[in-house]
Structure 1
Amino acid sequence: MAELRQFVGFMLAQEHYGIDIMAVEEIIRMVDITPVPRAPAFVEGIINMRGRVIPIVDLRKKLNVRVSENNESTRIVVVCIQNRRIGLIVDKVEEVIRIEVDAIDKAPGTSPTIDNYINGVARTSKCMVIILDIFKVFSIQEQMALDSLA
C-alpha cells in the first residue's frame, strides 16, 4: 500500500495549493491586522493571538500571484516554521487532502526561486494541487525579518 500524506488545501488566485498538515497549527477567520512600518512588502502586519504576537504574511504577495480583496472566504493559516509562528493569508481554505506520495509529480521547471519551494504537483479527483514546501518559502533573511516583528 502506498504511503499517504495529508495536506491542508487552500486557494490563491483560483489555483489550488497544499501545505503539509504537520506544519499547520490552526486556521482562523480574517481579523484586524496592525500594520508594521518598514516591514517587507509581503507582510501585512501583526496580530495578537491569545497573547502571542504573530506576523501576518499575504501569501498571494509572497508567491507573486494576483491579490484579490479579502472577503468572507479569506482565512489566515497559522503555520509553525522552525519554532516560528507565522500567519498566512489565503483566499480560501478547502479541505484536508490525502495524496499518495507516488501521485506527487515533480513540478515543471518554472524559475529557480519558485522551484525552491514547490515540492510537486498532484492530481486529485477534483483538480491539480501545487504542493508547497512551506519551510522553503521564506529565505533566512526573511525569517529573521519576521522574527523581529514577533
Structure 2
Amino acid sequence: MNELMVMIQIANRRCALHAHDVQSVIELGAITPVPQTPSFIAGITAMRSQALTVIDSRLALGLSSADWATDTRAAVVSVGGYSYALMIDAIEDITTATGEPTQVTGGFGPEWSRVATGMIETSSGPALLIDLPALVAGPEDARGDIPDAA
C-alpha cells in the first residue's frame, strides 16, 4: 500500500489519518466558543485569516474530555469543503501504511466502531484508521443539536 499516514492519539488509542486529508498541524491559539452548538464543537479559531471549527475529538466520539493530554497542537482537516481543527491527545509522526485496512475486531466499543474504518498496519505499529466525516459529525445523540443553517 505504502500510503502516508499521520499517527495521532485520541483517548489513549493509537489512530491514523490519511496524510492527504491533513492540511497542516497547528498550535491551537485562542478558541472562541460558539453559542448553540453541540458540546463536541469547542468553538472557532483562526489559521492565516481562515476560521476553523474546533472539534474536541474525545467529545465527538462520545467520550469524556476530562483527561486531555498537554499537546496544544491540532490536525487541520477538510471535510465536505469545510475546515476543522481536531483537538487530539497527541500527534506522533508521519509513517507509511504497510498493508490494507482490515476489519476492526471487537473490544473497542460502539464509539470507536462508528468512526474507525479498519485497523491498519504501519511501519510504526497498528492503528485505528479514522473516518473523518464520521468523527466530525460527532456522537449520534448530539446531531439533533446542530441548528439549521436557514
Same fold (TM over 0.5): yes
Q: 1:16 aligns with which of 3, 14, 17?
A: 14
Which of these residues, 91, 103, 108, is aligned with residue 106 of structure 1? 103
Match of 1:91 in 2: 89
Offset, 1:10: 0.6
If the length of structure 2 is used for normalisation, what is the TM-score?
Answer: 0.79
Deviations 1:24-52 (A, max 9, x none): 11101121101111111101100122222
For 1:85 and 1:146, locate their aligned partners in 2 and report how far apart those are by CA, in whole Å.
18
CA contact (8 A) 1:12 1:65 kept: no
Deviation at residue 126 of structure 1 after TM alignment: 4.7
The residue that corresponds to 2:46 in the other structure is 48
Instruction: Flag the 1:63–1:55 CA change in 2: closer, same or farther, 3 A.
Output: same
Deviation at 1:128, TM superposition (A): 2.8
Equivalent residue number for residue 129 of structure 2: 131
Counterpart amino acid of residue 6 in structure 2: V
Unpaired segments ≥5 residues, structure 2 = none
1:11–1:92 CA contact under 8 A, matched in 2: yes
Shift of 1:66: 4.4
Q: Does the C-alpha gap of structure 1 residues 112 and 8 become closer, same or farther in structure 2, counting only changes over 3 Å?
A: same
Count of residues paired in the alignment: 143
Contact 2:11 2:89 in 1 (8 A): yes
Structure 1 match to 2:27: 29
Deviations 1:66-109 (A, max 9, x none): 422452x232111011211011001110111211333x321125
Tell me which of 50, 60, 63 is aligned to 2:61: 63
Q: Which consecutive unaligned segments of at least 5 residues does structure 1 have?
A: none
Structure 1 residues 134 and 88, CA, compared in 2 at 3 Å: closer, same or farther? Answer: same
Distance across 2 between alignment mates of 1:88 and 1:146: 21
Identity %: 23
Separation of aligned partners in 2, 1:70 and 1:147? 33
Residue 105 of structure 1: SS of its match in structure 2?
Answer: coil
Aligned to 1:79: 77
Aligned to 1:115, which of 95, 113, 122? 113
CA RMSD of aligned residues (A): 2.8
